[in-house]
Structure 1
Amino acid sequence: MWFEILPSFAIITVLMAMPHASAYVINKLVVGNMYRRSLLNKEQKDQYLRDWRISGDAYVTHGLEAIPDE
C-alpha cells in the first residue's frame, strides 16, 4: 500500500536534514555562536567589518545610538 513508503521517506528526510542541523552545533563549538555570516561578496564583508568596528561583535545588532558623534 501507499503507507509502506513512509519509513524509507522518514529515514531519507532525517539523513538529509542532519548536515543542516549539525551546522549550528559545529558553529557553536568552533566560532562560539550558532550563526554564521556569509562573506561571499564585498558588500557583505564591509557590513561585517562595520558591525565589528561599531560594537566589537559582528553578531550583536546595535542601532544608530551605537555610532559615536564625532
Structure 2
Amino acid sequence: MWYEILPSYAIMTVAMAIPGYAMYFMNKAVLGNPYKREMRYRWDRHLYMRDGRLTDGRPYEAPGLEAIPD
C-alpha cells in the first residue's frame, strides 16, 4: 500500500536535514555565531572587515545608531 513508503520517506528526510542542522551547531561552536558569512568575493571580505572595524573586532554584532559619533 501507499503507506509503506512512509518509513523510507522519514529516513531520507532526516538524512537530508542532518547537514543543515550540523552546520548550524558547528558554526555556533567554532565561530560563536550560528550563521556563517561567505568570504568568496572581495566585496564580501571588504564588508566583513568594515564590520569588524566598526564594532571593535566583533563583526557579527551589528551596531545601531548609537555607534555613530555625533
- Structure 1 regions of 5+ residues with no counterpart? none
Q: What is aligned with 2:62?
A: 61
Determine what percentage of the aligned residue pairs are the same residue.
Answer: 51
Q: What is aligned with 2:14?
A: 14
Matches within 5 A, 1:1-70: 1-55=1-55, 56-68=57-69
Output the amino acid matched with 1:13.
Answer: T
Displaced runs of 4+ in structure 1, greater than 6 A? Answer: none
The alpha carbon displacement at 1:68 in A equals: 3.8
Output the amino acid matched with 1:18.
Answer: I
Distance 1:5 1:31 in 2: 40
Distance 1:49 1:68 in 2: 19
- Structure 2 regions of 5+ residues with no counterpart? none
Normalised to the residue count of structure 2, the TM-score between the two structures is 0.84
Distance 1:28 1:61 in 2: 17
Q: How many residues align?
A: 69
Task: Supply the RMSD in Å over aligned alpha carbons.
Answer: 1.5
